[in-house]
Structure 1
Amino acid sequence: MANTTIFGAKAIHGANPQSLVEEVIRLRIWESAYWKEECFGLTAVSLIDKAIKLSAIGGVYDNTKPTQFICLLLKLLQIQPEKEILVEYLLVEEYKYLRALAAMYIRMTFGAAEVYQLLEPLLNDYRKLRLLSMNGFSLTYMDEFVDKLLTEDRVCDIILPRLPKREILEQTERLPPRKSKLMEAMQEKDSDESERGRSRSRSRSRSRSRSSRSISRSRSPSYVGSDGDEDGDRYISKSPSRSRSNSPRPMDTT
């Protein structure tokens, strides 16, 4: 009874939820010590404590051993939590392995449009994840893991349900066009550059107008004061010759 799906669970993609995990892997999970000792009697709430203790994602390692990650994934398929609970798992940023577990479950059980809408924001999560596989431990990242969920057919040794391409969902108007952070950044950069170009052109035009005004002033006649002298000042010559010529001649006494 510990391995049966919860009573009243809804069929996923027309089948028992646990059947989404291949039978060979499912049997190995049921026979594992972690499943028997740690997963027995888990609920949607108590499973969180197990998920936040995960140290790696992955499917099967050492040929026959299932990872704790895939054991908890099968447990989610067995108890089938409500959608709201899975979305809450996904929104908890502090625990990246809980988020990765929720992303894997959502990819396997939710509708195509919901999968894109819920998982695409995680492409901006660049945190590191440890991956345990047949080759041992390796390093991956959250955005790479989510990208594989959206583009590949097998992740963590699990064959994923078929997912229509995004373009098809956009054409059927079930999904709005994706807004890429990179495209938004490029558009903002282009707008900033165009704004800087406009400001430079305005500053050039202002400088040209100032220079033209200064040139016109330099070419115009000098300012004439109110008394008729240039530059507003009366010019008085102090030349000796002019002073002597203007002085009266001495009278001839002879």
Structure 2
Amino acid sequence: MANRTVKDAKSIRGTNPQYLIEKIIRSRIYDSKYWKEECFALTAELLVDKAMELRYVGGVHGGFIYPTPFLCLVLKMLQIQPEKDIVVEFIKNEEFKYVRALGAFYMRLTGSSVDCYKYLEPLYNDNRKLRRQNREGQFEIVHVDEFIDELLREERLCDVILPRIQKRHFLEENNELEPKVSALDDDLDEEMPSDEEVVDTEVKENKREKERRGDRDRRRDRSRERERREKDRKRERSRSRDRDRRREREREREREKEREKEREKERSREQREREKDRRDRDRHDVDRRRDRGRY
């Protein structure tokens, strides 16, 4: 069968079921060691055994996009397209939580909106922990009910784009789904407080709210005072730096004046020396001419 979808497989939302996983990720799965060694010639019956061996959920990780065994089995299910009854049994399996997670993920990819709500919402009562490998290859803890909530609400999970499903209230309005009943409703009815308890609670809550407002006001005032002092310190530091720069410029101007005076003195001294040298040469020339005239 290689990597082809089974011949009698039904198209999912008008496309090959395997195409629900992006091409680059499919290619990485086909090239992975787990796919070649563990998923080769895998049937729906043998798939259960592989699912029971799962120890974490996740999509891909690392720079080279390494797929997790969980994602490999999801693609294998899309390839062999097991019967709906088998998938439902996966979801109802209470002993192996990763088998349940695998079945729920596959149902979310291939099931109708009604089926997704019908079979996945009961899993909100499952609070067991799942290990999930993130994109960096690190493990994190997520509960089954959180995982189911992400399946029903998020657009992408485990690096797979989830098909769109209808909002629950639309299905309820069309009488396709019964209104959602929370498992906590009965407990809430039993614990409904009396009118006096409600009044006392409101009074206490109002008192606490006033105290909280007072605390917030005091914290706000202290914060404003700190900000004001900080601004004053910054302003003073800025003024001090400006004064230092002005003094430095003034000192530099004074030093430049002194240097200019020194240069002027040097020029005057050189001028006097040149004048003296010229007079000495002139005297020497006069004496020489006088001596020649004498002889």
Establish whether TM, by shorter chain, passes 0.5. yes
Moved over 6 A (4+): none
CA RMSD of aligned residues (A): 1.4
Matching residue's letter, 1:41: A
Q: Which digits, 9 at most, give the CA deviation of each residue in 1:11-68, with x for residues without a partner?
A: 0111100000111111110010100000001111101111111110000011310000
Secondary structure of the corresponding residue to residue 133 of structure 2:
strand
| Comparing 84-93 and 100-109, the one that deviates more | 84-93
User: Which residue of structure 2 aligns with residue 53 of structure 1?
Assistant: 53
Following the alignment from structure 2 to structure 1, what is the Cα–Cα distance between the partners of residues 22 and 187?
42
Following the alignment from structure 1 to structure 2, what is the Cα–Cα distance between the partners of residues 67 and 121?
26
Quote the offset at 1:149 in angstroms: 0.4
Greater Cα radius of gyration, structure 1 or 2: 2
Secondary structure of the corresponding residue to residue 129 of structure 1:
strand
Quote the offset at 1:183 in angstroms: 2.2
Identity value in percent: 52
Q: Does 1:17 align with 2:10?
A: no
Give the number of aligned pairs: 193
Greater relative contact order, per chain length (Cα 8 Å cut-off, separation 6+): 1
User: Which residue of structure 1 aligns with residue 85 of structure 2?
Assistant: 84
Secondary structure of the corresponding residue to residue 126 of structure 1:
coil
Following the alignment from structure 2 to structure 1, what is the Cα–Cα distance between the partners of residues 190 and 165?
32
Quote the offset at 1:7 in angstroms: 1.0
Secondary structure of the corresponding residue to residue 181 of structure 1:
coil
User: Which residue of structure 1 aligns with residue 164 of structure 2?
Assistant: 162
Following the alignment from structure 2 to structure 1, what is the Cα–Cα distance between the partners of residues 119 and 186?
19
User: Which residue of structure 1 aligns with residue 73 of structure 2?
Assistant: 72
User: Which residue of structure 2 aligns with residue 127 of structure 1?
Assistant: 128
- Of residues 139, 153, 172, the one that matches 1:137 is 139
Q: Does 1:31 align with 2:2?
A: no
- 1:91-110 matches, cutoff 5 A: 91-110=92-111
Following the alignment from structure 1 to structure 2, what is the Cα–Cα distance between the partners of residues 187 and 169?
27
Q: Does 1:189 align with 2:195?
A: no
Following the alignment from structure 1 to structure 2, what is the Cα–Cα distance between the partners of residues 117 and 55?
26
Matching residue's letter, 1:159: I
Quote the offset at 1:182 in angstroms: 1.9
Quote the offset at 1:113 in angstroms: 0.6
Matching residue's letter, 1:59: G
Secondary structure of the corresponding residue to residue 45 of structure 1:
helix
Matching residue's letter, 2:151: L
Q: Which digits, 9 at most, give the CA deviation of each residue in 1:152-188, with x for residues without a partner?
A: 1001010000011111111111111011112232124
User: What's the TM-score once normalised by structure 1's chain length?
Assistant: 0.74
Matching residue's letter, 2:86: I
- 1:97-246 matches, cutoff 5 A: 97-135=98-136, 136-190=138-192
Following the alignment from structure 1 to structure 2, what is the Cα–Cα distance between the partners of residues 184 and 169?
24
Any stretches of 5+ residues in structure 2 without a counterpart? 195-295
